[in-house]
Amino acid sequence: MSETNPHPTEAKPGQAAAASSAGEPYLVVDDLTVRFPTADGLVQAVSNLSYSVELGKTLGIVGESGSGKSVSSMAVLGLHDERSAQISGSIRVDGKDIVGLSDAHMRQMRGNTVAMIFQDALAALHPFYRVGAQLTEAYRIHHPSASKKEARRRAVEMLDRVGIPEPQSRVDDFPHQFSGGMRQRVMIAMGLINDPSLLIADEPTTALDVTVQAQILDLLQDLQREFNSAIIMITHDLGVIAEMADDVLVMYSGRAVEYGPCKEILTHPEMPYTWGLLSSVPDVSSDINARMIPIPGTPPSLLHPPTGCAFEARCNHSDKVGGDLCATTLPDMRPGGRGQTHLKRCHLPDPDAIFLSEVLPQIAPDLAASASNQSSEES
Amino acid sequence: MFGYVVRRLMSSVLVILLASFAVFAIFYLGPSSPAQPVCEGSGRACTPERLANIEKSMGLDKPVLEAYGTYMKGVVVGRDVVIGAAEYDCGAPCFGVSYGTRAQVTDELKERIVPTILIAIGGSLVFLTVGVGIGIAAAARRGTIGDRVMVSGSLLVSSVPYYLLCLLAWLYLTLKTDIFPTTGYFPLSDGDPFKTFTGLLLPCLVLGVASSPVYARYSRGQMVDTLGDDFIRTAKAKGLRGRTVLFKHALRAAIVPIVTIFGLDFGTLLAGTIFTEKIFDVQGIGVWGLDAIRPPQDLPILTVTVLIGAVFIVVSNLIVDLVYGVLDPRVRLG
């Protein structure tokens, strides 16, 4: 195997400035591929992924474990070790391509204009440093002229803003002295301390109970309104997506399989994997006898991804596609019947009709009934 | 915290008492009488009657618990020690009088403990810097050639038997060349601290180098584990430099178990560095105990070396636990 480095060696400052264009969204990920060479072979963690996020908007990325959600987002921060990851494609932050950028340049961006908050704040915060020390460290690294006192004031201000009571004294506590929800707020305060333009939230509410989860999501929305930041919300919880996201990107086996406006994706999904995700959401308001329908099987190995559609083996609609197209040919991301902004990666002809007639009645009979009434009235 | 320390101190004292009693009892109940060497060493024929007399004079005919009580009382307030016909005034803390040299054990202990402590400290400084340093460097370069060189290099060093390493160093660095010409222990009381330092330099280096591989591998493992932790990813995501992430974040977390192991090792070192002392001719605790166990056995010396070893190990355990509470704020001592 050739050891060619897919990275452009170093982005020249002039080049980056020239690439900046006023009309482009704040973050544009274009044809991003992330691979990890291992002893067993090349792990194709993310393949040909493209998406964009504008300031003030939220993109939700959904998919099951190992679908490449976190790997692709960590690439946006340049957090992959260049010795162990092969990254190609482009990631443009504010018009500047950061793929292959030197670590020194990346560090200026990390935690400053682009910040990340992680799930499980207990593990993600350093256990031996007081939260105040961790917050001020994040502030001072990007504000070298700030005094310790100013940084501390800023830390207290941020703790106050994320709704931690008595921030003046809690700033001197250790992470283990906070409750789970409060700890996640500390994590958010740390992510937002430098007013980032882009905030990547990697399953920020996964370990939290539902009421705390709602508070955290409200908090993120408030802060987004205040700072007009772009947010990428990585989750496997479609409820979170429905509440937060403007756009949704569904990932499967390292690839985008459906991408479009949130309402579109949730009401008229066109890809059987998205149907499966929707079917496996428990719904308290529905008939108590209604069943949660799991997606059978497991995702394919990222070491040897299938040549055709990665979901083909688990898809129970592939018989509606002629021949063995699904097994042999990877579908492109292309618009379906519902406008140019809704992209899907599927060979199925007229998926919307299949969804309404076969899938929706199973997962939400009431909705299906009203939808069919509506469509018969329309016709 | 205070209550914890008091409770730990009390249990430490108990452990030391039990350890010293165990040693006492072993020799008391052992196959040969502790009075045998005294009897034989007096120049006259050792008849059973003489042996019995000497045993009686030394109090060896009394029950072991009573003899132990007398001994411990002497440690606290001093006592008169009788060996055969001779009587010695042994002031507190009295650990008895050597059967062989008839010197006060306490006085010799004070002298002998100095080189052992110096070697333990010097050796520790070497293996902490070299061993932990290599561990950190290897972990930071995990999977590279540098990592492999460091790991296999330390494996190589650790597979050489320690006494061989000592002998080779002494042979080649002191005898054959003049790199460390004045190896040995020159007491501080000689008034030449520099000579004391240079004399112990080689023993410390050899001890340190020999212990380094263990620390290199252990701290490499700890660092590799820590570098995979979530908070390291957070530190990187803040935009911190690689060096800051490595030392301020990773090492800070990885150092806690290293300190624990070190505390226990250091206690063991203080209890005697037998090989090092023997080969480099340093009159420390280890050699003292080793010589005392060879016939004719010298019970007072043996007892004190075991006792002092137990004290060092128990105390270093206690310190480790206290330091742990300081290093890891999640550990509440109470």
How high is the ipTM of this complex? 0.84
Percent of chain A whose pLDDT exceeds 90: 53
At residue A281, φ and ψ (nearest 5 deg) are -90, 125
CB B117 within 8 A of CB B270: yes
DSSP A46: E
What's at A319, amino acid-wise? Answer: D
Q: What is the CB-side half-sphere exposure of residue A51 using CA atoms within 13 A?
A: 32
Q: Which amino acid is at A40?
A: D
Residue B38 CA to residue A90 CA, distance in Å, equals: 89
Partner residue opposite A176 with nearest CB, options B238, B240, B330? B330
Asked if residues B3 and B286 have their Cβ atoms less than 8 Å apart, the reply is no
Q: A309 lies in a domain?
A: yes
To the nearest whole Å, the CA of A374 is away from the closest chain B CA by 49
Query: Omega into A299 within 30° of 0, i.e. cis?
Result: no
In the prediction, which pLDDT does B96 show? Answer: 87
Nearest CA in chain B to A117: B234
Of A77, A106, A123, the CB nearest to B231: A123
Q: Min CA distance, B97 vs chain A (Å)?
A: 51
Give residue B194's pLDDT band: very low, low, confident or very high (50, 70, 90). Answer: confident
With respect to residue A315, please indicate whether it lies within any of the assigned structural domains: yes
CB contact under 8 A, B238 and A138: yes
Q: Does A352 have pLDDT greater than 80? A: yes
A255-261 and A86-93: which strand pairing? unpaired
Q: What is the pLDDT of residue A285?
A: 63
CB contact under 8 A, B239 and A125: no
At A376 the pLDDT is: 58
Once rounded to an integer, what is the mean pLDDT over residues B89-104?
86
Burial A180-194 (b: 16+ CB within 10 A, else e): ebbbbbbbbbbbbbb
Task: Please judge whether B237 and A79 are an interchain contact, meaning their C-beta atoms are less than 8 angstroms apart.
Answer: yes
Q: What average pLDDT score do residues A232-261 get?
A: 93
pLDDT tens-place string over residues A74-122: 999 988 888 889 999 999 999 999 998 888 999 999 999 999 999 889 9
Instruction: Return the number of other C-beta atoms located less than 10 Å from residue B154's C-beta.
Output: 23
Domain that holds residue A300: 270-378
CA distances from B245 to A77, B191, B223 (A): 16, 47, 12
CA distance B132 to B49: 61
Instruction: List residues of B whose CB lies inside 8 A of any A CB.
Output: 143-144, 229-231, 233-242, 249, 252-253, 327-330
Provide, as residue numbers in chain A, all residues whose Cβ is less than 8 Å from the Cβ of B238: 110-111, 137-138, 141, 190
Most confidently modeled of A41-50, A288-297, A358-367?
Answer: A41-50
- 10 Å Cβ neighbour count for B219? 27
CB nearest A125 (choices: B144, B234, B239)? B234
Which residues of chain A are within 8 Å of residue B143 when distances are taken between CB atoms?
83
Main-chain phi, psi angles of A335, to 5 degrees:
-65, 145
Closest residue, chain A, to B241 (C-alpha): A107
pLDDT of residue A213: 85
According to the model, what pLDDT value does residue A17 have? 39
Question: For B111-162, how does the pLDDT look when each residue is reduced to its tens digit (9 = 90+)?
Answer: 999 999 999 999 999 999 999 999 999 999 998 999 999 999 999 999 999 9
Residue-wise pLDDT tens digits, B270-293: 887 888 998 888 999 999 999 988
3 state DSSP class of A371: helix
Question: Each residue of B296-329: pLDDT tens digit?
Answer: 778 889 889 988 988 999 999 888 888 888 888 8
Query: Do the beta carbons of residue A356 and residue A371 sit within 8 Å?
Result: yes
According to the model, what pLDDT value does residue A290 have? 62
A190, A196, A199, A205 alpha-carbon torsion, rounded to 10° = 30
Q: Residue B259: list chain A partners with CB under 8 A.
A: none
Q: Are A308 and A317 in contact (CB under 8 A)?
A: no
CA distance B56 to B295: 21
Q: How many domains does chain A have?
A: 1
Residue B55: which pLDDT band, with cuts at 50, 70 and 90?
A: confident
Write b or e for each residue in A274-292: b if 16 or more Cβ atoms lie within 10 A of its Cβ, otherwise e. bbbbbbeeeeeebeeeeee
Distance CA A173, CA A153 (A): 15
Other C-beta atoms within 10 Å of B242: how many?
A: 12
* Interface probe, candidates A80, A102, A128, A172, chain B, greatest B C-beta count within 10 A: A128
> With 70 as the cut, is the pLDDT of residue B217 above it?
yes
CB atoms inside a 10 Å sphere around CB B210: 24
Tokens at residue A205, please? 């509410």
Chain A residue at shortest CA distance from B234: A124
CB contact under 8 A, A79 and B239: no
Residue A286's pLDDT is 61
Mean pLDDT in chain B? Answer: 88
User: pLDDT confidence of A377, banded at 50, 70, 90?
Assistant: low
Nearest-angstrom CA–CA distance, A283 and A295:
16
Give the single-character DSSP code of B188: G
Question: Which of A103, A120, A128 faces B230 most closely, judged by CB atoms?
Answer: A120
If you measure CA to CA, which chain B residue comes closest to A104?
A: B241
The residue with greater pLDDT, B3 or A93, is A93
pLDDT at A356: 87
Closest-CA distance, A85 to chain B, in angstroms, reads 14
Distance CA B268, CA B312 (A): 7
Collect all residues with Cβ–Cβ distance below 8 Å to B223 and sequence separation of at least 6: B135, B136, B139, B140, B250, B251, B254
**Yes or no, beta carbons of A141 and B252 under 8 Å apart:** no
Q: Count of A–B CB contacts within 8 Å? A: 68
Residue A38 φ/ψ, nearest 5 degrees: -130, 175
List Cα–Cα distances, A139 to A146, A153, A160, A194, B267, in angstroms. 8, 11, 16, 6, 43
How far does the CA of residue A148 sit from the closest CA of chain B (Å)? 17
According to DSSP, the residues that pair with A46 across neighbouring strands are A34
- What distance in Å separates residue A7's CA from the closest CA in chain B? 21
Q: And the tokens for A232?
A: 């990428």
Strands (E), B39-169: 79-83, 86-90
Nearest Cα of chain A lies from the Cα of B233 at a distance, in angstroms, of: 8
Per the CB < 8 A criterion, the answer to whether A47 and A32 are in contact is no
Which runs of consecutive H residues, i.e. helices, occur in chain A?
13-19, 69-76, 103-109, 121-124, 131-142, 148-161, 167-170, 180-192, 210-227, 238-244, 262-267, 272-279, 325-328, 351-354, 360-363, 365-378
Q: How far apart are CA B242 and CA B231, in angstroms?
A: 14
CB contact under 8 A, A176 and B237: no
Q: Which two tokens mark B170?
A: 């002494």
Distance from CA of B331 to the nearest CA of A (A): 10
Could you report the per-residue pLDDT of A318-336, keeping only the tens digit for each? 888 888 889 899 999 999 8
| Range list of β-strands (E), chain B | 79-83, 86-90
User: Which residue from B143, B240, B253 is facing A128, i.e. has the nearest CB?
Assistant: B253
Over residues A123-147, mean pLDDT: 95
CB contact under 8 A, B240 and A79: no
Which CA distances in Å does A345 have to A37, A61, A331, A333, B316?
26, 16, 5, 4, 65
**Alpha carbon separation from B236 to A80, A117, B86, B202 (Å, rounded):** 10, 12, 74, 42
C-alpha to C-alpha distance for B186 and B195, rounded to whole angstroms? 7
Q: Which 3 state secondary structure label does DSSP give A49?
A: strand
Cβ within 8 Å of residue A141, ≥6 positions away: A111, B238, B239, B240
CA A58 to CA A50: how far, in whole Å?
16
Best CA proximity match to B298, nearest among B314, B287, B309: B287
Q: Give the DSSP letter string of A196-211.
A: -SEEEEESTTTTS-HH
Specify the CATH superfamily of domain B109-327: MetI-like (1.10.3720.10)
CA dist list (Å): B239 to A115, A140, B50, B251: 9, 11, 83, 18
In a domain, A5, yes or no: no
Which residues partner with A234 through β-bridges? A61, A202
Query: What count of Cα atoms within 13 Å lies in the side-chain half-sphere of residue B239?
Result: 28
User: Which of A103, A141, A176 comes nearest B238 by C-beta?
Assistant: A141
Q: Does residue A163 fall inside a structural domain? A: no
* Residues β-bridged to residue A202: A234
What DSSP designation does A319 have? Answer: G
Write the residue in B143, B238, B328 that is nearest to A128 by C-beta. Answer: B328
A135 versus B9: which is more confidently predicted? Answer: A135
Unique residue bearing structure tokens 């019947």 = A337
Phi, psi (5° rounding) for residue A86? -105, 120
Mutation for testing the B interface, residue in A126, A173, A195 having most B CBs under 10 Å: A126
Interface of A with B (CB under 8 A): 77, 79, 83, 103, 106-112, 115-116, 118, 120, 123-129, 137-138, 141-142, 174, 176, 190
Which residues of B fall within a CB distance of 8 Å from A79?
233, 236-237
- Residue B176 pLDDT > 50, yes or no? yes
For residue A288, name the pLDDT band (cuts at 50, 70, 90): low
Which H, E and C letters describe B79-112, residue by residue?
A: EEEEECCEEEEECCCCCCECCCCCCEHHHHHHHH
| Dihedral angle of Cα A281, A284, A285, A287, to the nearest 10 degrees | 90
Of the pLDDT bands very low, low, confident and very high (cuts 50, 70, 90), residue A144 is: very high
